[in-house]
Structure 1
Amino acid sequence: MATMEQLTKITDKDDLKDLQKLYLKDWPTNCVGYFWLDNYLRWLHQNPTLKHLNFYTINNDWKSDGLFILVHRYQLFFSNLSKQKPELKVALNLLDWSGGFKVSAIHETHHKIYKELVADLDLQIDREMNTIMYSLTYQEAGNFQINCPEGYYLDKVRLEHADLINDLWSARHPGSLKLIQMLISYNTNVGLYDKESNSLCAWCLRLQSGFLGALEVLETHQRRGLGLVVAAAISKAIAIDLQQDITALVNMNNTAACRVFEKLNFKLQHGEHYHWSMIKPKRGGQISWPNNE
């Protein structure tokens, strides 16, 4: 008699740590899965009562292929080491897609599975984007010499700036303000401030996938090399704080961001394409943050 496939939760933190170790294989090929798990394990350490966070696998078997699905509120992340096995599509098919998802960092080899699933379930994609990946070792980032321009100073981003950052974020969406607030609270970040007014002029956050994100310079402060300073500063901070390699996803048409990372000697990972995608709720409307918690 055939075994009924089922989604099962991974709740033991030691199991999650062992799952994370599987993603050290063939570094940096599987670094995104590693960083997802690392990020949320650190968040749980900082806040053990973190809500709306679930780790799934299929039939309690995460050991054979590192298969996991991570759902945080409306955000969805998924991976397996082989990137080809049909079990991943089976597992994704068992999820409840009715409320919609923001699906992040879909590896190129997983994207085909994902698009097949979207067609099979008659899901509606709101928007989707293709990106390229840059990386830098933490040893290289740790050696950066940060030269802050005259009239500015570097500091952590403050929660009071979440609205500004969210308003200018190219990936802004319903619920993203709460996400920005959590990234500011829990993850390494860097802000560059005007000394005279103490106003935030440029910033960069680290996303849950380990990628640098929301890199932005206010229009009134552009063309002064501030993006380069902020990107270098957060890279060095991650290297020092976490001793982890630095990764960045860049929209394929964002030549300005590409130049920033290339000037810092980030290496383009050829053939490493990642997609992010927004799935509309079946009931209509847009995805939302559960209970605004």
Structure 2
Amino acid sequence: MKPPTTTISDDNLHVLRQICEKQLPATMHVCNLLNTHFKWNERNTTGSHMKFISLGEDWKTKGTFAVKYNSVDIFVFTLEKDCDSLRQLLMETDLLDSANQNIFYCILNEHLTTVYDTLSELNVDVTESYTTAMYWISKERALNFPVKCSEDVYIGTLNQSHVPLVSSLWPREFNGANEYFSSFVETKGGLGVFLKSNNQLVSWVLRNHWGVLVNLRTIPDYKRKGYGTLLVKAMCKKIAEEGNTPLATIIVGNIASEDLFKGLGFEYYDMCNTITFNIKKMEKSVKILNDEDLNVLKSLYINHIPYASHVVSLIDNHFLSKLKKINGDYVQFFALDNDWKTDGTFLMKFKNYDIFTFTLSSNKDQIYELMKKTNALDVNRRTVLYGIRNEHLPPVYKALKEQNVKIKDAIECLIYWLPKEKALEFTIECPDEVYVSELNPTHSKLIASLWPHSFDDADKYISYLLEMGFGYGVFLKDGDKLVTWILTPHWGTLAILETLPEYKRRGYGRLVTKQLCKKIAENGINPLCTIVVGNIVSETMFKKMGFQHIDNATFIVF
């Protein structure tokens, strides 16, 4: 099974820094990146804008990880010689954002072939690439830099009001440049030379997420006055005072900058590459997920329990139903190409009765696109969009509206879950007059007749559920009459709990629920249930049994 995509925690980033420190000086820029992240977290209440990503524990065993900065810059690195884990990381994560221009930043030459090969495989359009030389200077030398201004200027810290000017003179324009430079300024990563006469900003330098000096720029009328050298010294001294090694990247061929930094004592460190690209928008095709795919999908969702417990139980219940060797595929799973591998977007259809869809992506329109491509709403019978989470309702309603689907009902429910460990502790004690036994399809007509949400051929629907899943009933010992029942739908959860009116208030509902919960837990699944908002009786019963409310969902009938 492939390792899941993980966000590396700060505790683990400290471990990663220790790993990289053992490979100095080759990893000097990586250590700087990690140090800057920690420093920015201290200064900025909204975090450092950086997200560190790995597949499983590849960061620990192979030194392989990626960093995404503000949805613009992407940095990838590995200590692995053959770069196999780096290629897998690029292929199986959502690092490449089709909604934005992307920049691979500071890619070492030894990683370049892997990055280009992956971009080609992913049908990426490279719009620009250039090579830069990395230079460094020791902290000790930087601390000794004299920083002395001429009488007509002073050095100050940049603030947000300076960002438009800084951005306007940057030679490589891109969408979001203001926000990009703003994030550096936000973390006090910019210094400027200001005229004393009117406080005009005439020269500046920024320190980026690497702690690297970037965007050293002077307004044309004020060039050749030594302001650039002055700012480099001041910024290097500031970086060294924080315990970091000053670094600079210089585009190959920029002789003036190279002479400036060499003149200050900077030494060549390594070559790196910047690649600007856009994702080519291609028509996506619908894929039916097979069992191997579903195991991969499950491994993705396991990291999101209890939030997505119902997705895991849906997949588990699908595999359990296959063990029964029933005829036909009652449940089918659909996705678009390989998007599901990174964002978990899929759609499930149960016969022509129920549709369920879910995504882990922040771009909820993935659901809308999938519903359109699968023609999910092209049905000629009563259908239910089953248990749609509130955050997924907008794209669902958008698809319904676009296809002129008439909604008959929308039922808001509470989702409750119980850890399987607690369910396994349940004791089942029947009163003397009854016994608990499994349901079978012959009970479907009675169950359908008392179901508040019944419909034409509901008995057939329930029969299918019992064939692919399981249910329990409370039966009278005298005559084997079924008086209470509960069963599992395709979600593998608890559903359609009901008791014949004349046998209510005898604890039969609680009894049969405990029996089914225990059965579900024995199959390794966390019991779940949905309760219609306002059904206080059911909510009270499940709470007393230890169930916890995790979210709301809506059942849309059309």
| TM-score, shorter chain, exceeding 0.5 | yes
The answer on whether the counterparts of 1:44 and 1:50 sit within 8 Å (CA) in structure 2 is no
Q: Aligned partners of 1:259 and 1:83: how far apart in 2?
A: 34
Pair 1:14 & 2:292 matched: yes
Say whether 1:232 aligns with 2:510. Answer: no
Give the Cα separation in 1 of the matches to 2:466 and 2:415: 23
Tell me the equivalent position of 1:81.
360
Deviation (angstroms), 1:178: 2.1
Q: Does 1:94 align with 2:370?
A: no
- Asked whether the 8 Å contact 1:188–1:237 carries over to 2, the reply is no
Cα 1:146–1:52 change in 2 (3 A) is: closer
CA contact 1:166–1:177 (8 Å) conserved in 2? yes
Secondary structure (helix, strand or coil) at the match of 1:29 reads coil
Q: Alpha carbons of 1:83 and 1:261: their partners in 2 closer, same or farther (altered >3 Å)?
A: farther
Instruction: Select which of 193, 202, 215 maps to 2:475.
Output: 193
**Runs of 4+ with deviation above 4 angstroms:** none
1:205 Cα offset (Å): 0.4
| Larger displacement relative to structure 2 (175-184 or 186-195) | 175-184
User: Cα RMSD (Å) of the superposition?
Assistant: 1.8
Matched, 1:121 2:403: yes
Q: 1:205 to 1:53 in 2, by over 3 A?
A: closer
Q: Which residue of 2 aligns with 1:44?
A: 322
Supply the distance in 1 between the matched residues of 2:538 and 2:326 (Cα, whole angstroms): 36
In structure 1, the partner of 2:445 is 163
User: How does 1:1-293 map onto structure 2 within 5 Å?
Assistant: 2-10=281-289, 12-47=290-325, 49-51=327-329, 53-74=331-352, 75-82=354-361, 84-96=363-375, 97-99=377-379, 101-240=383-522, 242-269=523-550, 272-279=551-558
* Contact kept? 1:227, 1:260, Cα under 8 Å: no
Partners of 1:83 and 1:109 within 8 A in 2: no
CA distance in 1, matches of 2:482, 2:362: 41
Aligned length: 275
Deviation at 1:210? 2.4
2: distance between equivalents of 1:60 and 1:268? 32
Would the aligned equivalents of 1:191 and 1:201 in 2 still touch at CA under 8 Å? yes
The residue identity in structure 1 corresponding to 2:285 is Q
Distance 1:188 1:200 in 2: 15
Partner letter of residue 491 of structure 2?
S
Aligned equivalents of 1:173, 1:81: Cα separation in 2: 33
> Which stretches in structure 2 are left out of the alignment for 5+ residues?
1-279
What is the identity, as a one-letter code, of the residue corresponding to 1:67?
T
Shift of 1:2: 3.8
CA distance in 2, matches of 1:63, 1:183: 28
Q: Is the 8 A contact 1:33 1:209 kept in 2?
A: yes
Contact 1:36 1:209 in 2 (8 A): yes
Which structure has the larger Rg over C-alpha atoms? Answer: 2
Q: 1:162-215: per-residue Cα shift (whole Å, max 9, x none)?
A: 100111122323343222112223323211011112100101101211220010
Give the superposition deviation at 1:52: 5.8
Q: CA deviation at 1:261?
A: 0.5
- My pick for the range that moved more, 224-233 or 51-60, is 51-60
Kindly state the Cα deviation for residue 137 of structure 1 after the two structures are TM-superposed. 1.0
What are the ranges of 5 or more consecutive residues in structure 1 without an aligned counterpart? 280-293
User: What whole-Å deviation, never above 9, does each CA across 1:140-166 have from its counterpart, x for those lacking one?
Assistant: 111111221221111111322110011
Quote the offset at 1:48 in angstroms. 6.7
TM-score by length of 2: 0.47
State percent identity of aligned pairs. Answer: 22
- Identify which of structures 1 and 2 has the higher relative contact order when contacts are C-alpha pairs closer than 8 Å and 6+ apart: 1
Deviations 1:30-60 (A, max 9, x none): 1122222222233234337524643211124
For residues 86-137 of structure 1, the C-alpha deviation after alignment (integer angstroms, 9 at most, x for no partner) is: 2221111223223153210101111122112222222111212000011111
- Matches of 1:256 and 1:41 in 2, distance apart? 33
2-structure distance, mates of 1:133, 1:103: 15
